[in-house]
Amino acid sequence: MSLFDLSGKSAIITGSSRGIGKAIAEQMAEAGAKVTISSRKPGPCQEVATALNDKHGEGTAIAVPANISSKEELQRMVDATNEAFGKVDIVVCNAASNPYYGPMEGISDDAFEKILSNNIISNHWLIQMCVPQMRERKDGAVIIVSSIGGLRASPVIGAYNISKAADFQLARNLAEEYGKDNVRVNCIAPGLIKTDFARALWENPETLKRATSGTPLRRIGEPVEIAGAAVYLASAAGSFMTGQMMIVDGGATIN
């Protein structure tokens, strides 16, 4: 059996209708997993699920739209996954919000609360819903897609960076709590990746030049380059790794 084989596993990936989440779902399906595709809009979710079923066989993917800000919708997604696949082995908390771009002094209370709620508390909710069955089986993997922003200050995405730093600690704390039951909890910390979510940071040529000029690889990443890290953390290859943040940033943080 390959160290990266996910055959017989079931994975929930939030924010998986596009970008990093979609790439993770595609690569987990490639590795043999059944996957739940979820984001707010039903249409894009169904498109991704249909494409995966066409490629890997009917029953590979289901589409369950859910807004991460709704505990009820998250629970419905978990229930639908259990019904379709019989269990949840892997949870990827990828969806996040960043409704504000600017200095901290200008952020409204509502925007700050939304960032903290969607990027930290929603992850906690979803993990709480899925981990009990993993602990019972003595096997499971939780992956939080954080950001190198959690290691840095920023004049324009400060609140987002604060939430991503909190995700690192969420992973560490849950890894300590769940480790005795062989449930691993880790973060991936991507650098700048070419997604719609990060468009404000790479679409402008000047901003892009600034972002890449000091990085060893001199470019931004592609979503599939984060997906490999997720497959590693979810599979036997990553079975002795927990409570960690895996930085995948083209070397941006070494300078």
Question: Which positions are annotated as active-site residues?
Answer: 160
Q: Exposure of 46 by Cβ count < 10 A (0-12 exposed, 13-18 middle, 19+ buried)?
A: middle
Q: What share of the chain is helix, strand, coil (3-state, %, to 5)?
A: 50, 15, 35
| Contact between 126 and 93 (Cβ < 8 Å) | yes
What's the chain's length in residues? 255
- What is d(CA 12, CA 86) in angstroms, rounded to the nearest whole number? 12
- What is d(CA 248, CA 192) in angstroms, rounded to the nearest whole number? 9
- What is d(CA 56, CA 54) in angstroms, rounded to the nearest whole number? 6
Distances, alpha carbon 207 to alpha carbons 41, 195, 203, 247, in Å: 30, 15, 8, 21
- DSSP assignment of 35-56 equals EEEE-S-HHHHHHHHHHHHHHH
Residue type, 78: V
Rounded (10°) CA dihedral 55, 59, 63, 64? -160
